[in-house]
Structure 1
Amino acid sequence: MLLAGKRVVITGASRGIGRAIALGCARHGADVMLGHSGRSSADDILTLRHQIEVLGRKVADQAGDIGDPDTGAALIAMAVEQLGGVDVFISNAGICPFHAFLDMPQETYYRTVNTNLNGAYFAVQAAARQMQQQGEGGAIIAVSSISALVGGGMQTHYTPTKAGLLSLMQSCAIALGPLGIRCNALLPGTIETDINREDLADPHKRSTMQNRIPLGRLGQPEDLVGPAVFLASDLARYVTGASLLVDGGMYVNLQ
């Protein structure tokens, strides 16, 4: 129960990594505010809410496009209304519509940047303002990616956003440290989620990716739970400005 009594807000909570982390936080005693896009399945959200309620924790959810700069503030306001405050904010929402560089549509580029970086920026800002008002510090975690450190030919619009999230956490660690707010980044490797399911359906591509990973398997959303809970908890009370690779050793194997 590393997060007993804490109030956690997480974006992109309906599926994949966000869903796993939300449930993991609840299992460690946190009340949870679920941010999700309006495109999320109602059944997915209802099931997740039920799973959290069965654990005896408070849960609320709110739909909204995180690419809209006002969505983050609305989500934080709802968390204050429903949970009484915010102790942990996890910026997880993201998209990766694979596309070649030379004919990248402007709409695809801007949608990716607005969702992954711009929306995250203003959501982090809203969470930090609430934590400042509460006066008890807090923890902010951005789910970046190994793509913040390596390139991808079909991800020229995506990798800069993940590098931006990593840099944002480093700068926020400095800006918010005096307020007792810790800011850290998680850098997942290849995790099987809806984002890459079609890409990994190619047997050759899947085998190639697995062979790059020293632990010999692709990651699962649940592999992010332990690292996220650690960074959100008081066990990490002297950890800020850090980046934690959760990639099965893939990054070091690429060097």
Structure 2
Amino acid sequence: MMLLDGKVVLVTGASAGIGRAAAIGAARHGADVAINFARDQAGADDVVAAIEALGRRAIAVQGDVADPETARDFIAKAVDAFGRTDVFVNNAGICPFHAFLDMPVETFERTMRVNLHGAYFMVQAAANQMVQQGDGGAIVAVSSISALVGGEFQTHYTPTKAGVHSLMQSAAIALGRHGIRCNSVLPGTILTDINKDDLADADKRARMAARVPLGRLGEPDDLAGPIIFLASDLARYVTGAALLVDGGAFVNLQ
């Protein structure tokens, strides 16, 4: 079943990790895809090539999501290329692990600007395009299990992911009258560039995997299916929801 056949899907932070998996997964389900990336030109080119190899169209647009102008530019270039925006996946995010008591102001502020401010302005720009089109749409934001639990070295990161989760709840109310659905996925520990240094310790990695009822840490492709489901008409009456994709980690915390 081609769940996104003929749709145009936009994904931020898609040169690697979860964004890459979501972009290529959308193409496998029949979508043309525009990706945003910050610096990794080679990774972005590889994603575009993978999508085109599936017989779908793709473009890559470079830009820092912390700059509100990037949102307007990304949407405009996607519409120029494909004519519209049907699905928007807000994925771009950073997590420079750091202790709380001596958190540098610039680290805190940069994390906020990328993860939360970036999500706000990207979602707003995508929503305005969907409203202009007049036939609804779907927005999926990548939040985190960190929206629900704390992290000693993530005091700057966890509030941003709680904010993204909350943004989807409020946007669902604001945009429901326009037929735009807004949902979030909450990944557990996924093996991506964002945590490769933190999980370089084999013992720590094994301990974290042991806490997961399904017995392993997540991979980016584990998020592709849930994101595509929420973007598709299978979820046509789902909005304001948050879907944990964590192998059962959250329910095993007691």
TM-score by length of 2: 0.98
Q: 1-side partners of 2:153 and 2:78: how far apart?
A: 36
The answer to whether the Cα contact below 8 Å between 1:138 and 1:181 also exists between their aligned partners in 2 is yes
2:58 corresponds to which residue?
Answer: 59
Secondary structure of the corresponding residue to residue 99 of structure 1 = coil
In 2, Cα distance between the equivalents of 1:23 and 1:67?
A: 24
CA distance in 1, matches of 2:73, 2:147: 28
Q: Which one-letter code corresponds to 2:194 in the other structure?
A: I
Query: What's 1:122 paired with?
Result: 121
User: Where does 1:14-25 land on structure 2 (aligned, <5 Å)?
Assistant: 14-25=15-26
Deviation at 1:10, TM superposition (A): 0.5
Structure 2 residues not aligned, in runs of 5+: none
3-state SS, counterpart of residue 238 of structure 1: coil
Query: What's the offset of the Cα at 1:43?
Result: 2.2
Question: Is 1:6 equivalent to 2:7 in the alignment?
Answer: yes
Retained in 1: the 8 A contact 2:7–2:87?
Answer: yes
Task: Give the fraction of aligned pairs with identical amino acids, expressed as a percent.
Answer: 66
Aligned to 1:213: 212
How much does 1:61 deviate? 1.0
Distance 2:128 2:206 in 1: 45
Contact 1:173 1:183 in 2 (8 A): yes
Residue type of the partner of 2:46? T
- Which amino acid letter does the alignment assign opposite residue 122 of structure 2? A
Deviation at 1:112, TM superposition (A): 0.3
Matches within 5 A, 1:1-255: 1-37=2-38, 39-40=39-40, 42-255=41-254
Q: TM-score, normalised by structure 1?
A: 0.98
Once the two structures are TM-superposed, the CA of residue 207 in structure 1 deviates from its matched residue by: 1.5
Per-residue deviation at 1:51? 1.1
Q: Secondary structure at the match of 1:200?
A: coil
CA–CA distance in structure 2, aligned partners of residues 204 and 101 of structure 1: 24
Kindly provide the CA deviation profile for residues 148-184 of structure 1, in whole angstroms up to 9, marking residues without a partner as x: 0000010000000000000000000000000000000
Gaps of 5+ in 1: none
The 1-side partners of 2:79 and 2:67 are apart by 20
Tell me the alpha carbon deviations over residues 193-246 of structure 1, each in whole angstroms, 9 at most, x when there is no partner.
001011111122111111110000000000001101100000000000000000
Q: Is the 8 A contact 1:8 1:87 kept in 2?
A: yes
Q: Which secondary structure does the structure 2 equivalent of 1:195 belong to?
A: helix
User: What letter is aligned with 1:19?
Assistant: R
Contact 1:72 1:120 in 2 (8 A): no
Deviations 1:52-72 (A, max 9, x none): 111111111100000111111
Is the CA contact 2:45–2:60 (under 8 Å) kept in the aligned structure 1?
no
Work out the CA distance in 1 between the residues paired with 2:42 and 2:78. Answer: 21
